[in-house]
Amino acid sequence: MDANQAENLFESKLAKNEMIEPKDWMPENYRKHLIRQISQHAHSEIVGMLPEGNWITRAPSLRAKLVLLAKVQDEGGHGLYLYAAAETLGTGRAQMIDDLHSGKAKYSSIFNYPTISWADMGAIGWLVDGAAILNQIPLCRCSYGPYARAMVRICKEESFHQRQGFDILLALANGSPEQRAMAQDAINRWYWPAVMMFGPSDDASTNSAQSMKWKIKRFSNDELRQRFVDMIAEQIKVLGLVVPDPELRWNEERGHYDFGPIDWDEFWNVVNGNGPCNRQRLRTRVEAHEEGEWVREAASVYADKKRSRENQTKAA
């Protein structure tokens, strides 16, 4: 098959909504675009374990601790499926991890905010995982097979995460005045960063147009953000709390909630490494990686031994 035929086949698969698989021909920029997005996504899951991991030892009950532990482990698993999906595109995991540690690769802005109370576990589950689900469900239909398939399982787990977050906030909202205030404070701090998670507005989104042509992204950043605002504006009524946006109002004509302006300076500041916890998060990740050196070494020596034993048995 010549280059033109290969490209035609790729385009016709996209047009028919067929998946592109690792061994299929694909344009180099499609490959690079996916490596960028999938590795950023994997890094977000792994760095995303840190703000919540912070509360495992301080969970208010054994049940809460078990649930949080399971959730944080799920995030670790998501990172692993996603690194594996990125590896099918020909990039090595060690390279991706180096890029995270050197600050070259991005990860979601949301994980650079501190978790200062137990209610933050609720706000992260409800708002952050809630935003993640809206962004990630369409990725189950993205054009690259290994990414789309990884997202199916991830989304199932994320929906459990969102419920556990809501459950924490509901308990606090129905608790003492102090607990209610704690829930409101967490929502006040996490709401806008969650709104920002969807990325820059459509006119400033450099990757969106191409990503949509390639059927990686199915909806724009602003479309998904609007869905999120609409969903949260309704769900918060059940909690009897409020979102920190005085301009949030139902717009009958649009059939959506209007909302106030987003502080894009804050967003870019965090994306560019200057959020409240960026340095701390990277330092913790690098330390964890260095401390795990002996595990990686032992695993690879064990794999070598096993292989050579198998070879000896075959030769005998």
Piece in contact with ligand BYC (CB under 6 A), picked from 36-44, 58-66, 240-248, 280-288 = 36-44
| Residue 37 engages ligand BYC in binding (rule: CB under 6 A) | yes
**Distances from the Cα of 133 to the Cαs of 23, 161, 204, 214, 222, in angstroms?**
29, 10, 23, 21, 15
Size of the site for ligand BYC (CB under 6 A): 28
| Residue 165 engages ligand BYC in binding (rule: CB under 6 A) | no
Where are the alpha helices (H) located in 48-128, listed in sequence order? 49-53, 62-87, 93-101, 119-123
Q: Give 125's DSSP letter.
A: I
Of the pair 128, 233, the CB lying nearest ligand BYC is at 128
Compute the distance between CA of residue 228 and CA of residue 240 in angstroms, rounded to an integer.
18
C-alpha radius of gyration, the chain, whole number: 22
Of the pair 115, 221, the CB lying nearest ligand BYC is at 221
Spell out the residues 6+ positions from residue 115 whose beta carbon is closer than 8 angstroms to its own. Answer: 51, 52, 54, 55, 121, 124
Q: Give 203's DSSP letter.
A: G
State the residue number with the nearest CB to ligand BYC.
48
Is the distance from CB of 226 to CB of 155 less than 8 angstroms?
no
Instruction: State which of residues 39, 164, 208, 226 lies at the interface with ligand BYC (CB under 6 A).
Output: 208
Of the pair 6, 106, the CB lying nearest ligand BYC is at 106
Count of helix runs (H) and strand runs (E) in the chain? 14, 2
Piece in contact with ligand BYC (CB under 6 A), picked from 19-27, 44-52, 115-123, 276-284 = 44-52
Nearest alpha carbon to residue 238 among 158, 121, 126: 126
Q: At its nearest, how many Å lie between ligand BYC and the CB of residue 290?
A: 22
Piece in contact with ligand BYC (CB under 6 A), picked from 12-20, 113-121, 193-201, 284-292 = 193-201
Find the binding residues for ligand BYC in span 69-98 (CB under 6 A): 75
Of the pair 180, 217, the CB lying nearest ligand BYC is at 217
Cα-Cα-Cα-Cα torsion 68, 74, 79, 83, nearest 10 degrees, comes to 170
Instruction: State which of residues 148, 271, 277, 282 lies at the interface with ligand BYC (CB under 6 A).
Output: 271
Site string for ligand BYC, 105-134 (x = CB under 6 A): -x-xx------------------xx--x--
| Residue 206 engages ligand BYC in binding (rule: CB under 6 A) | yes
Q: Hey, what are 218's tokens?
A: 């199915």
| Residue 137 engages ligand BYC in binding (rule: CB under 6 A) | no
Q: Helices 129-136 and 177-196 sit at what angle, rounded to 10 degrees?
A: 30
Contact positions vs ligand BYC (CB under 6 A): 36-37, 40-41, 44-45, 48, 75, 106, 108-109, 128-129, 132, 135-136, 197-200, 205-208, 211, 217, 221, 271
